[in-house]
Amino acid sequence: MGYTDARLGRDVRSGRLLRVAPGWYGNARATPRVTRPLAVGHRLTCIDAAELHGLWIPYRDEEERRTLHVYRPSGSAASPRTMLAHPSRSRSWPESDAVASLPLALEHAMRCQDGERAAILLESAMTRRLMTPTEVQQLVDSAPAAVRSRIGSLSSASDSGSETRVVRWLRRRGFEVEQQVFVDGAGYVDLYAGGLLLEIDGQDGHSGPDAFGKDRRRDLRTGRHGLQILRLSYEQVWRGWSDTQDAVLETIAQVGAFGRRKVERLLAS
């Protein structure tokens, strides 16, 4: 960027730059999530780095969000209580940037996060075209067997982490799940399982008056075929998940057989 030592010194003295750590400087736009770890010799990684790279991030409560996931080289200072360290046998950072690259952040996340959250991050990397399915699969294949088993199979069809959560749960319950199902006159619906069509709100995908109107129009069109769409909000999937699971199973038990017959007739016609 053309900075000399003399210019750096002048900009620090004038307040245009802040000396974050030896060899590291930041301006007024520098995010504290990055500068705080640098100040103690650590660097941002795992789910916090994944968020800066633009991935869909699973719901985290306030306490979880206050704890930063960092990489701590061997022999460096102990991490503050507000940081969760990913230790290493190496005494140096494997990359030159202040934030872990997306592959490295995901490598750390696969070992740190539970299977569901790791799967959400990996699927988001594919859906948002930040990594190819082949690159993601190579990352998973290089992980220990216990990590691979915890993550399980992945899909590139989920539009959001909320959809990933619902799909994985339904499959664990023994349902066959089809994603991005085309319904004549209504377009693509998030998923079909147990005779029921489901649309999943990923927090930003079905909000606002325009989206609300579009959803209602789709409901009318699917209703023409005698099909029912069950819509699950972000709140239902993440903050009321236990009750939502019971409600979905009850709905499938009540209307699933009817829905399956309708779908079979549509496919036969």
For residue 193, the cross-strand partners are: 177, 196
For CA atoms 146, 150, 152, 158, the dihedral sign is negative
The secondary element (H helix, E strand) that includes residue 72 is strand 68-72
pTM of the model: 0.85
Q: Extract the tokens encoding 8.
A: 């750096």
Element (H, E) at 188: strand 187-193
- 141-155 pLDDT, tens digit each: 999 999 999 999 999
Give the model's pLDDT for residue 236.
Answer: 96
Which regions of the chain are under pLDDT 50?
205-209, 211-218, 220-225
* Per-residue confidence (pLDDT) for residue 37, from 0 to 100: 94
Q: What is the reported pLDDT for 265?
A: 64
pLDDT value at residue 213: 44
Query: Could you state, in order of their start, the residue ranges of all structural domains in the chain?
Result: 31-151, 161-268
Query: Torsions phi, psi of 8, nearest 5?
Result: -60, -45
pLDDT value, residue 209: 46
**pLDDT score for 64:** 93
C-alpha span between 239 and 235 (Å, rounded): 5
C-alpha–C-alpha distance, residues 39 and 31, integer Å: 12
Say what the pLDDT of residue 266 is: 60
Question: Which CATH fold would you assign to the domain 161-268?
Answer: Endonuclease; Chain A (3.40.960)
pLDDT at residue 185 in the model: 67
